[in-house]
Amino acid sequence: MSVNEGETVRITLVPLGKTLSVKRGEPLQQHLFAQGVEFPCGGRGRCRRCRVRVLNGHLPVTPADAQRLSQADLDAGWRLACQARAETDLTLELAQWEASILGDDLKFEFIPGEGFGVAIDLGTTTIVAQLLDLKTGNVLGVRSALNNQAQYGSDIMSRVEYAIAPGGLDTLTRTVRQQTGRLVADLLRDLKETAAGSESTPATDALRTVIVVGNTVMHHLFCGISVEPLSHHPFEPSNDGLQRLSPSDLGWDVPRHAEVMFLPCLGGFIGSDILAGILATGIHNSDQLVALVDLGTNGEIVMGNRTRLLCASTAAGPAFEGARISMGMLAATGAISAVNNNNGRFQCTVLGGGQPKGICGSGLVDAIAVALDLGLIDHTGRLKCGDSLVLEGQVTINQKDIRELQLAKGAIAAGIRLLLERWNAQSEDLHCLWLAGAFGNYISRASARRIGLIPLPAEKVKPAGNTALRGAKYVLLNTAHNDPEQTSIRQRVVHVPLNEEPRFHEVFVSEMQFPEPA
């Protein structure tokens, strides 16, 4: 027996957020199968469906890896799980649970330029980058990924906690810069390979500008700015302005003359993704009262018109993204994404079909809305019979899951109510409410109203898609001409720190309850 035989290693699975203790040298297949990973070819290394990506640790390239995976995939850390053994501690991203990341393909007016540009939406959970022709405005390529920082914490405040520990900021900054740099380099490589052999091969060294948007914490971590001020009251950043960086500053393998700009934040936890959302929806040009709500771990709300813009952020928690839910997961293959009432029974829609592995945020909202209508949950959120509700197969939701959703929806609903009060307005005075992001795009508006998340009729609630990415593209395509517009928006924005609102706790507790049946 070798000295190390019998020792255990730790295997952390992203995006499941689970950590397994595995005997050193054991095949990964038997352990990943127990977590819902499928091996369609029976573990023979033939189908590529069990791919995992090494985020931390080391998995050697096997002959099957070399045969079935491209060199680019191998360089990016992809391996076939069915051929791998657990020899060291590992953090692995599971391809089968890859999130459906929302892009954007809407057109808008712009001023033509020369060369290429990249717009990046740097989210806490996901990253999406688009390569654009600055002359035509056409999207030439899209790359997306789960944010590799997730291995250090799934939500905003866990990242902040990690970043203020010794060496934490450097680790998170290096991680996100390397990942975004690879995405940009991959986009340029794909462009060159696609055009190879054509009469007009594009000059990929014509990359001019990269525009990045994200929340305040992502802004700081990408730019290497301390997040310590965001870890305590009054939660105000010391430097949230426009950041200009060069590829060499970032360690990117792209043309060195390109300029990288991370757009400015709007205050507190209101990031440049919300500035981009304002630009994308045109709230700042509206004659009527309009709202934009970005539902995520840190829910942001903008309410206003051409005269004034009020912004607030709420610590909604990660329930909308499936985190801290007993069987929660991202909106990925195997997730229950929608639930309907079918003659008094739960009827579930599973992404990718087959047996469900868990439930994502939109499915959770639906399930609780249906349970309220069926009388299985009362208006306080208490389960009226048993310890859990069986949705389909082995997937259930329990009392703690319901409380997590109540916390998240209560924070958002309280923020909307308090901003309406600041405007001396009622919910019926809102002309429309834009729901931004992937969750906002897929959530049932009827279910959102049933649980008291959005206090408007469905016809006034409009899915807005990825407004962060669209706003970043707007800036990218009008880089030389839009500084005055951004400045004007920032001058009109009033940041409302909800934690300092005297009535916030009272309103929050009230909004945690579910509406009584009509």
How high is the mean pLDDT in each 10-residue block of the chain (518 residues)?
63 79 90 74 76 90 89 87 91 71 70 91 90 92 86 82 96 96 92 68 78 96 96 86 94 92 90 94 95 84 95 80 80 88 95 86 95 96 93 94 94 95 94 86 90 92 91 86 76 89 94 89
Show the CA angle centred on residue 134, arms to residues 132 and 137, nearest 5°: 65
H helical segments located in 321-444? 361-373, 399-422, 437-442
The answer to whether the predicted template modeling score (pTM) of the entire model surpasses 0.85 is no
Tokens of 107: 């057109």
* pLDDT value of position 482: 59
Kindly write down the DSSP assignment for every residue of 460-510, as one continuous string.
GEEEEE-HHHHHHHHHHHTTTT-HHHHHHHHHHEEE--GGG-TTHHHHHHH
Task: Return d(Cα 289, Cα 428) in angstroms, integer.
Answer: 10
* pLDDT value of position 1: 33
Tokens of 256: 């060195």
Tokens of 198: 């054509």
Task: Return d(Cα 35, Cα 20) in angstroms, integer.
Answer: 10
At 146, phi and psi to the nearest 5? -75, 140
The 3-state DSSP class for residue 324 equals: coil
* pLDDT value of position 406: 95
Tokens of 394: 């082995």
At 133, phi and psi to the nearest 5? -85, 115
* pLDDT value of position 465: 86
The topology (CATH level 3) of 8-97 is: Ubiquitin-like (UB roll) (3.10.20)
Tokens of 213: 């948007």
* pLDDT value of position 418: 96
Tokens of 153: 């914490």
Using CB atoms within 10 A of its CB, is residue 81 exposed (0-12), middle (13-18) or buried (19+)?
buried
